[in-house]
Amino acid sequence: MSDLTIPTISFETSPDQYRHWDVAVDGARATLTMNVDPNAGLRDDYELKTNSYDLSVDIELSDAVQRLRFEHPEVKVVVVTGGLDKIFCAGANIQMLAGSTHEHKVNFCKFTNETRNSIEDATANSSQVWIAAVNGTAAGGGYELALACDEILLVDDRASSVSLPEIPLLAVLPGTGGLTRVVEKRHVRRDLADAFATRTEGIRGRQAVDWGLVDQTAPLSSFSDLIDERAAARAAESDRPDHGPGVRLEPLERTVDGDEIGYSTVSVSIDRRAGTATFTIAAPDDAQPATPDELVDAGAAAWMLRCARELDAAVLHLRFNETAIGTWVFRTEGNADAVTAAEQILAAHRDHWLVREIRLYWARTLKRLDLSARSLVTLIEPGSCFAGILAELVLAADRSFMLDGTWEDLDDPPESATIRLTGANLGWFPMSNGLSRLQTRFWGRPSALAAAEATAGTDLEARDAAEAELVTFAPDDIDWEDEVRVALEERSSFSPDALTAMEANYRFVGPETPETKIFSRLSAWQNWVFQRPNAVGPNGALQRFGTGSRPEFDTRRV
């Protein structure tokens, strides 16, 4: 199998294909039970024992989170629990980590973080509350899964505990936001958090409640009653509808022809010599739903939902399977009016459950783009439709080029390129820092922000867009090809490590949030510690784990 044209990792799955999770829906409550198949990991050189997980487990979890939101509007509370005796989840599989490439470990941690964030997003913004029913030991990533839930219930059987043992056992950090969530979300006092993260046996029972690591505990005899009580109470607070229908997320249709990848609204062309992938996103070419009922009837075929799903899928494919393609170039084609007409339903009916879910899905997809450790370049040419939601791609870019004028050498030159901001660009899709991309662009410059926002609803040609500081460069047709080519060639000549670090520093200005700490800071720490010999060297903790011999550490602090 060639990894040049066929994805080595697929993110397409559905409940009838799950090997690791059982989903049961009963009215307003869904129960998601982790029951990992030890022999169904991504690779065959390890077993997923004791409900440990690898990317295959998290791909299914991510899919389940998405489907519960879209396919089951009546579900108001989700209970996640363990399916093995006395084990909730043992965390990321150590043998998997020890045998993985560095890039896979970092991408695995990033995707798992995004999945945990989507759980929190469901609770905070979709009114679909997640509760962790920890019915056994929750270690490392297992406790981090519980931390993503809004409530944590722990069985008090004198054995079950919660722990983050990565530092004492593996010489790395918890990879999916555990340290940050303990102090930022659970508000555990930092000295107690320090003691907790260096105690391999973890904390159990009443002490876990007293320290703030879990919310409630109950003996095994009444644990089910506690779960039922809390699930009923939280479901009663939800504003989700009591009945469907939901929207079935049918499998995406994709074609692969060499280095060309095609979906219905998104296509990707890979140039391996240049190290670029060019995304082209097409505007809708037919009438789109104008009422919530029409939107539900259209379901996953509606352009707004279909485009978000396809862009998300393309980003994930390239992130994991095309790691040497370091620059992503974004183009659009079609009618800008069709884009802004399609998004009107998201403005007019924002309180409808499906409208809310589509807006939130776009927010998550655009965040995934922000966090993908690639250089992002936008090209705005005649025939483009960077309006509204698609204008977010201009604001997300590290650099944007907009043609000043048109292609003068053509017999029938097309109209000049324009961009158009709408309400979608004024706060619908916050970044990890909690700001819109416009607010991030003009951080500390309120007058420039106000001037840019005042252009909303206006088609801006290149000079006006440059005057409003919405694009980076605006060359004419004489210089266009050379300026774009030189910029892309220059980008590919730089160190990808340095570019990743630089871009992350520049993209997340302004206030620091738990999310920016998890991604901008924690991911960088993991990027570093996962390369250190203390963790991954021949005598490091990941290599020695489970062998009975202690790791050997270089004790110098650096």
Average pLDDT over residues 180-190: 96
Average pLDDT over residues 176-181: 91
Task: Name the class of domain 255-506.
Answer: alpha beta
Share of the chain above pLDDT 90, in %: 84
Average pLDDT over residues 438-457: 97
Query: What is d(CA 81, CA 136) in angstroms, rounded to the nearest whole number?
Result: 9
pLDDT in the model for residue 448: 97
Lowest mean pLDDT among 422-426, 440-444, 511-515: 511-515
Give pTM, 2 decimals: 0.94
Q: CA-CA distances (angstroms) from residue 453 to 421, 424, 426, 472?
A: 8, 11, 7, 17
Average pLDDT over residues 349-359: 97
pLDDT tens, residue by residue, 32-72 = 999 999 999 999 999 999 999 999 999 999 999 999 999 99
pLDDT in the model for residue 2: 34
* Coil/strand/helix, residue 250: coil
| The token pair that represents 213 in the structure block | 């690591």
**Confidence bin at 7 (pLDDT 50/70/90):** very low
pLDDT tens, residue by residue, 363-373 = 999 999 999 99
pLDDT in the model for residue 431: 96
Q: Which residue has the higher pLDDT, 550 or 156?
A: 156
Range picked from 171-185, 441-455, 506-520 for highest mean pLDDT: 441-455
Average pLDDT over residues 161-168: 95
Query: What is d(CA 197, CA 173) in angstroms, rounded to the nearest whole number?
Result: 9
pLDDT at residue 329 is higher than 70: yes
Q: What angle do CA 541, 545, 546 make, to 5 degrees?
A: 165
pLDDT at residue 361 is higher than 70: yes
Q: Which residue has the higher pLDDT, 153 or 525?
A: 153
pLDDT in the model for residue 492: 93
Burial of 290: CB neighbours in 10 Å, binned 0-12, 13-18, 19+: middle
**Confidence bin at 4 (pLDDT 50/70/90):** very low
pLDDT at residue 288 is higher than 80: yes
Range picked from 325-334, 405-414, 536-545 for highest mean pLDDT: 325-334
Range picked from 98-112, 329-343, 409-423, 529-543 for highest mean pLDDT: 329-343
Average pLDDT over residues 212-241: 98
Written as one string, the DSSP assignment of 326-375 is -EEEEEEES-HHHHHHHHHHHHHTTTSHHHHHHHHHHHHHHHHHHTS-SE
pLDDT in the model for residue 545: 85
pLDDT in the model for residue 6: 37
pLDDT at residue 411 is higher than 90: no
Burial of 490: CB neighbours in 10 Å, binned 0-12, 13-18, 19+: exposed
pLDDT in the model for residue 497: 86
Q: Are strands 327-333 and 276-282 parallel, antiparallel or unpaired?
A: parallel
pLDDT in the model for residue 1: 31
Q: What are phi and psi of 554, to 5 degrees?
A: -80, 115
Average pLDDT over residues 218-246: 97
Where is 451: in which H helix or E strand? helix 446-453
pLDDT in the model for residue 522: 67
Where are the chain's structural domains?
Answer: 15-236, 255-506, 512-544
pLDDT in the model for residue 543: 86
Phi-psi category of 483—alpha, beta or left, where left has phi over 0 and alpha has psi -120 to 50?
alpha
**Confidence bin at 533 (pLDDT 50/70/90):** confident
Say whether 255-506 and 15-236 share the same fold: yes
| The token pair that represents 468 in the structure block | 């409003």
Average pLDDT over residues 534-547: 87
Does domain 15-236 sit in CATH 3.40.1390.10?
no
Instruction: Output DSSP code: residue 84.
Output: B
